[in-house]
Chain A
Amino acid sequence: MKREEFKDNESLDLLKESGTNVLLTTIDDVINWGRKNSLWPLTFATSCCGIEMMAAGAPRHDFARFGMEVYRASPRQADVIVVAGTIVNKMAPVLKRLYDQMSEPKYVIAMGACAISGGPFFLNSYSVVKGVEHVIPVDVYVPGCPPRPEALLYGMLQLQRLIETQTIKSRKGRNLSHNDV
């Protein structure tokens, strides 16, 4: 995504500002370039958002253009987990385990109203987790019910921008995500 196409650059500039030396920044740039252009998502879909996620991967929208090349069926080979759908209390431990099995660096996208807040199941539901951030830390939220594939694509591009700001100097570093908290 080009810089001028995105309106809110200040927060990312702030993250990039913290002082690192020239060598590390250069290494960072190379590593981040590699990471952001080969984001492999985990095949994980629990309801209708999963259909939109599949559509985002299919030829019409084709997010392989941006390096989200291939869905991995194993969390050990995946970089990003797109929580596409409702997470119920019974599913929550499974989701946590999947997240724990992913290798660093790992990212989470909460896709759709259910993953963000419980959505239509927020009120009067005995079984639905009210927001997936209760279980695992979320990097990017993609609202919608379900979001269009374009919206997911936009969220993935935001995640790429986020990865650009990371550094290997410290694990907390300039990372916006809560991964290391």
Chain B
Amino acid sequence: MDNKQLEDFIRPLGEGLDVKTGKQFCEVTLPADKLHSFAQLMKENGQLKFNFLFCLTGVDYGDSLGVVYHLRSTEFNHTIVLKTKTSDRVNPVLDSVTDLWHTADFHEREVFDLLGIKFNNHPDLRRLFMEDSAGYPLRKDYVDEINIVTK
């Protein structure tokens, strides 16, 4: 399916979805509590078959924290982007998609490491690079007066 067909196909699949085509891919913005069930639908629907999570990105929007998922179907060669976010900056929690795409394991650990987003049902949520005491360095409000030089 091309982006337009994907849009038309996906829009009726759930409530609270914001479906539009961005610069490159069809983008779906959805509330955090619907993320896992919707992702599962994307993977298991016979006409979509998004069996490949090729990019998982954590984002700090300033007022909220979010995750962007790039999904691809190796069978139909179409791509979709899922976006979700949470406005809780103190204790941000999202659902893990590790049970659907195993590659999410390390990606989610990295997001947890650098942005502090916790993932429910993640098998092994430990810090990947940083020390436990380091804080979350990719957050916009991160302060480190020793290591960081600012203008």
Contacts and interface: CB of A to CB of B under 8 A. Distances in A.
**Size class of the A contact interface (CB-based, 8 Å):** under 10
B136 to A, nearest CB: 10
Nearest to A128: B147
A125 B129 contact: no
A126 B142 contact: yes
Contacts of A21: none
Given A126-B137, A126-B142, A127-B137, A89 B129 contact: no
Contacts of B148: 124-126
B149 interface: yes
- Chain A contact residues, majority secondary structure: loop
A95 to B, nearest CB: 17
B132 to A, nearest CB: 15
A127 B114 CA distance: 12
B147 A89 contact: yes
A89 to B, nearest CB: 7
A13 to B, nearest CB: 38
* Most chain A CB within a 10 A radius of its CB, from B129, B142, B149, B150: B149
18 contacts: A89-B147, A90-B129, A123-B149, A123-B150, A123-B151, A124-B148, A124-B149, A124-B150, A125-B147, A125-B148, A125-B149, A126-B137, A126-B142, A126-B144, A126-B147, A127-B137, A127-B147, A130-B149
Interface of B: 129, 137, 142, 144, 147-151
Interface of A: 89-90, 122-127, 130
